[in-house]
Structure 1
Amino acid sequence: MNTEQWLFLGLVFLVVAGLAALAMFLFGAGALRQRIGALEEPPGGKDEEGRWIERVARVVQPFTRLSLPEEGWERSELRTRFMNAGWRNASVPTLYFAAKTVLSLGLPAVSGALAAGLASRMPGQGFMFLLFGAATLGYYLPNGVLANIARRRQRDIFENLPDALDLLTVCVEAGLSMERALAKVAAEVHIKSVVLAQELQLVLMEMRAGFSKEKALRNLALRSGVEDVDTLVAMLVQAERFGTSMGDSLRVHAENLRLKRSQAAEEAASKVAVKLLFPLIFCIFPALMVVLMGPAGIQMSRIFLDQPH
């Protein structure tokens, strides 16, 4: 074999070895590193999202002092709103009050920078009003986000509660205890509503941790913030206290909730016609009038303008 053949064989070897190494890196090494990382992670360690939230909370900790009330907020309605929104991380208050501070200071700064070119033509009161409005918007924007998230979560619980009660009724009438029935419902309803399943699992964990059934159920009503859940908890407590049939009580309450859900849907459907009036009047009708009357108006204007005076 001459030199050219040896060089050709060496080039083929390098190409094949490179392709094999690339295939191992893409299809084998990545999965292997993931498995090794999963093994190296200590049991009960926090996930990446939790670590990221804690790092952000440590960074924005100095901004919290400007918006955090001095005392008493832990027992205020804001703490309950955090639970209604499903925010249970210990860093949530820090991030919430830091967001209020950053937004109330950042939005006026951005607005002032954008309006700096118009400051000469804008009166001083108007410029100050712009800054004050931006600061107010930034301070109360986290409140609106929190209320929106809590409202959507409460709606999810309200819409899926009758189906969960039907399954709970079947489990109780089949002879299961309340704890086993709640575990079964939490496992099955997870497919349809993750929020409701998480709340039921929290009830089970509280009961297994030593809480009484009444205390765990009342905590469920407090966390959810849904009036129907509060009524359900009161019904379950009374049924267990007075020895009435749990299955019959659950069935009646599920029927009432289903009727209430259908009435809410009918009410929302009946409001559609009224809500459509505004886009019809202000958006569609003007365009329709231009399309219908435009050609006639152009023709009439030509006729009248062409006539001699």
Structure 2
Amino acid sequence: MIGGDLVNWIVLGLVFAAVVLVVMALAPLVLGRTDIKARLAAQGGGAVSNAGPGSIRNDHATGVWARLVLEVERRGMSLTDSTSDKLAEKLALAGFDQGYAPRAFTLARATGTLVLPSLLLLVFAASGNWPNPGKLYVMVIVAALAGLYLPGIVISSRAENRAKEILNGFPDTLDLMLVCLEAGLGIDAAFNRVGSEVTTSHPLLARLFAQVSLELRAGRSREVALRMLARKSGVAEITAFTTLIIQSDRLGASVATALRIYAAEMREQRRMRAEEKAHRIPVLLSIPLVCFMLPVMVAVLMLPAAIGMKKQMAKADELKNARATAQAQ
């Protein structure tokens, strides 16, 4: 009994410490936001409206995650990882290309590793139904591993979905670029025009093309800007497209002719991907058919025969019993 009370006090102490740390990290953000709104209201600024989607040149260091990372590092906790470059590239493929993204990812992993076991212990402490020490140890370790690896799983899934969205919209964007080039626009102006035209239909490609246009305006060479586009997209087809543009530019070949051929190949690849998904449907449907419908069909076909066999066996038993009774008499 004394040991159980000691465990409860230890758990409650850990939960209290975790809550205090979270409150200390979030309190400056909330208070700072309230002070800003109060000063704006005092100066006649009124309510602060939510900002719409900004351009790619906006300062991303004003977000909630950025302020949270700064507050945590200001308190002496370093969030810099030894593999920050690889982590930043992986996060960029998932759409998180801010400068503080690797540190925010490290903070999310550390928070999940500490919070999930604390929540698990809090649930056990609130219910009073503690498992045995071995099972409790395994559950805490599993919760800590889930908090450690769950952000990575989310980032990988987001990167995969982002690559699929870019790949599905790239043939249409390529056709629009081909139209712009055949109309007389240069390759730099075509990136700018296509990026502004596909903002609603393909926002990810619009952002990538807008970044290329801004880099070209800033004085970066076309080859470097296109290679940056290939790295940020993470799609093999866009890498081949940028290589095609670079090689055509170097050799002096017609970019419009090369794009026309490549656009036809991209449309053919998209059709083949659709056919591949269509051919996979029967294989995928066979799994629920075998698992759910086949046992029912077997039961429906075999049940009448089983009932008839049971009746025949019952009649044979009755006849055997009657003969035995007759012989006994």
Relative to the length of structure 2, the TM-score reads 0.69
Is this contact kept in 2: 1:182–1:200, CA < 8 A?
yes
Partner of 2:84: 74
Query: Aligned equivalents of 2:233 and 2:153: distance in 1?
Result: 18
Query: Aligned equivalents of 1:170 and 1:201: distance in 2?
Result: 18
Partner of 2:94: 85
Give yes or no for the alignment of 1:274 onto 2:283. yes
Question: What does the per-residue CA deviation read over 1:72-102, in whole Å, with 9 as the maximum and x for residues that have no partner?
Answer: x232x22111111111233322321111011
| Counterpart residue type for residue 104 of structure 2 | L
How many percent identity over aligned positions? 30
Query: Aligned equivalents of 1:151 and 1:63: distance in 2?
Result: 35
Give yes or no for the alignment of 1:216 onto 2:225. yes
Question: What does the per-residue CA deviation read over 1:105-164, in whole Å, with 9 as the maximum and x for residues that have no partner?
Answer: 2222333444672513xx61x432222222212111111111111111111111111111
Partner of 2:259: 250
Give yes or no for the alignment of 1:186 onto 2:195. yes
Query: Aligned equivalents of 2:112 and 2:312: distance in 1?
Result: 60
Partner of 1:6: none
Q: For structure 1, which segment, 46-55 or 162-171, has the greater mean C-alpha deviation from structure 2 after superposition?
A: 46-55
Give yes or no for the alignment of 1:231 onto 2:243. no
Query: Aligned equivalents of 2:172 and 2:65: distance in 1?
Result: 34
Partner of 2:116: 107
Partner of 2:209: 200
Query: Aligned equivalents of 1:92 and 1:302: distance in 2?
Result: 73
Is this contact kept in 1: 2:188–2:213, CA < 8 A?
yes
Give yes or no for the alignment of 1:119 onto 2:128. no
| Counterpart residue type for residue 131 of structure 1 | V
Partner of 2:273: 264
What's the secondary structure of 2:185's corresponding residue? coil
Partner of 1:3: none
Q: How many residues align?
A: 267
Give yes or no for the alignment of 1:151 onto 2:160. yes
* 1:283 Cα offset (Å): 3.3
> What RMSD, in angstroms, separates the aligned Cα atoms of the two structures?
3.6
Change (3 A) 1:111 1:280: farther
Residue ranges of structure 1 left out of the alignment (5+ in a row):
1-32, 39-43
Partner of 1:54: 66
Query: Aligned equivalents of 1:301 and 1:139: distance in 2?
Result: 59
Q: For structure 1, which segment, 297-306 or 176-185, has the greater mean C-alpha deviation from structure 2 after superposition?
A: 297-306
Q: Which runs of 4+ in 1 moved over 3 A?
A: 33-38, 44-68, 111-116, 283-309
Query: Aligned equivalents of 2:60 and 2:213: distance in 1?
Result: 26
Change (3 A) 1:113 1:143: same
Partner of 2:146: 137
Change (3 A) 1:203 1:95: same
Is this contact kept in 2: 1:64–1:94, CA < 8 A?
no
| Counterpart residue type for residue 84 of structure 2 | E
Is this contact kept in 1: 2:230–2:242, CA < 8 A?
yes
Question: What does the per-residue CA deviation read over 1:175-197, in whole Å, with 9 as the maximum and x for residues that have no partner?
Answer: 11111111111122223110000
Query: How do residues 159-178 of structure 1 correspond to structure 2 at under 5 angstroms?
Result: 159-178=168-187
Relative to the length of structure 1, the TM-score reads 0.73
Is this contact kept in 2: 1:67–1:100, CA < 8 A?
no
| Counterpart residue type for residue 57 of structure 1 | V
Question: What does the per-residue CA deviation read over 1:235-292, in whole Å, with 9 as the maximum and x for residues that have no partner?
Answer: 1001011011111100111111222222222222222222222222223444555677
Change (3 A) 1:68 1:277: farther
Alignment partner for residue 249 of structure 2, among 240, 248, 263? 240
Query: Aligned equivalents of 2:72 and 2:311: distance in 1?
Result: 68
Is this contact kept in 1: 2:112–2:144, CA < 8 A?
yes
Residue ranges of structure 2 left out of the alignment (5+ in a row):
1-43, 50-54, 322-329
| Counterpart residue type for residue 187 of structure 1 | S
What's the secondary structure of 1:86's corresponding residue? coil
Q: For structure 1, which segment, 187-196 or 88-97, has the greater mean C-alpha deviation from structure 2 after superposition?
A: 88-97
Query: Aligned equivalents of 1:180 and 1:293: distance in 2?
Result: 72
Query: Aligned equivalents of 2:113 and 2:258: distance in 1?
Result: 50
